[in-house]
Amino acid sequence: MSHALVPTKLEELWAYIAENPEAMLCAGGTDLLVKIRSRSVTPDCLICLERLDDLKGVRFEAGEIIIGALTTHRELLHDPIVQRDLSILASAVQNLGSPPIRNMGTLGGNIVTASPAGDTLAPLYILKARLKIRSKESSRSVPIESFILGPGKVDLRAGEILSEIAINQDSRFTVNHFEKVGRRNALACSVVSMAALMNIAEDNTISEIRLAWGSVGPTIMRFGDVERLLEGRQLTVRGIEDAIRKVQQSVSPIADTRASADYRRDVAGRLLLRLLSYASSR
Ligand SMILES: Cc1cc2nc3c(=O)[nH]c(=O)nc-3n(C[C@H](O)[C@H](O)[C@H](O)COP(=O)(O)OP(=O)(O)OC[C@H]3O[C@@H](n4cnc5c(N)ncnc54)[C@H](O)[C@@H]3O)c2cc1C
């Protein structure tokens, strides 16, 4: 690598991108620098985004919660809006990497890396996050599931950056559950993860549910038929057993050094059993 540029204003960023079309963007660098060290990417120039304060922080705007793409995981964890209104995202970030990784790594970097094991992705899918993509000339907003095209593949064109993540403030659920199964408790990449938003009626039936799984397919996986099957069912082992089987039939995991495909398939379904802990005791 011959040089790095560190813009402090968006106008400066657009100028650097125009002058260095082959440059790679670097936010916290926790994914990118690993790739540079292993020489799987060899950029000649890096444009470091870390001083673009306009792309940091969490705020309310017109009924939406807006998160700047450059907000670090640590900042998310300590933000009062995230703690109160996006607790499922806070749960996912709590065990992401280690303190140094959370200090440097950003939400935008986790999204653009587009790993099926990216911890923030399953929560963002069920929160129906929309991503604001900007370039010097244009701005567009896309749902996260259209932005992420496959492992490491995103709908980002030349000259564009991910600037913000927008989440509708109406996404209020009584149960906000995120669980990651890894090979160890800390610093573990997920073997399977599941995010769930759920409302339970007084008679202990599931009145509304949104579910997403990580690390069991090329991208985050959601199954509308499983959600429809669960809605109206009692939150009991009997009530959810068909859904567990359906999830196990629907996921398409791979085997790798961390787990076999069969293990992932089995655990993906069984993670639904965790939701029973929210059942009313009456
Ligand atoms: C030891 C270790 C442990 C980890 N543990 C976990 C874990 O438990 N869970 C997990 O999900 N991840 C984990 N990661 C991966 C990583 O820390 C996260 O994905 C992090 O959020 C990446 O953010 P970043 O800002 O560092 O991205 P960077 O490395 O700076 O960038 C990643 C990619 O995104 C692009 N990019 C970044 N920001 C933007 C933007 N705003 N617009 C356009 N493109 C952009 C970059 O060009 C690059 O291609 C771990 C990494 C390490 C090294």
Note the pLDDT tens digit of each residue in 65-108.
Answer: 999 999 999 999 999 999 999 999 999 999 899 999 999 999 99
Q: Which residues of 13-51 are buried (b: 16+ CB within 10 A; e: fewer)?
A: bbebbeebeebbbbbbbbbbeebbeeeeeebebbbbbbe
Nearest to 159 by CA among 137, 141, 174, 178: 137
Contact 262, 176 (CB under 8 A): no
pLDDT band at residue 2 under the 50/70/90 scheme? confident
Single-letter code of the amino acid located at 79: D
Q: Do domains 3-168 and 175-278 have the same CATH topology?
A: no
Q: What is the pTM of this model?
A: 0.97
pLDDT band at residue 171 under the 50/70/90 scheme? low
Minimum-distance ligand 1 atom for the alpha carbon of 160: 43
Q: Is the CB of 114 under 6 A from ligand 1?
A: no
Q: Check: CATH 3.40.50.2300 for 175-278? A: no
Topology given in CATH for the domain delimited by 3-168: 3.30.465
Nearest to 131 by CA among 167, 99, 102: 167
For residues 263-280, give the mean pLDDT.
96
Domain boundaries, the chain: 3-168, 175-278
Percent of the chain residues past pLDDT 90, beyond the cut: 91
Q: Is the CB of 110 under 6 A from ligand 1?
A: yes
Residue 29's H or E segment, with its range, is none
| Nearest-angstrom CA–CA distance, 243 and 236 | 12
Percent of the chain residues past pLDDT 70, beyond the cut: 97
Encode pLDDT of 204-224 as tens digits: 999 999 999 999 999 999 999
Q: Which residues of 156-167 are buried (b: 16+ CB within 10 A; e: fewer)?
A: beeebbbbbbbb
Minimum-distance ligand 1 atom for the alpha carbon of 188: 8
Distance from the CA of 119 to the center of ligand 1, in angstroms?
A: 11
pLDDT band at residue 169 under the 50/70/90 scheme? confident
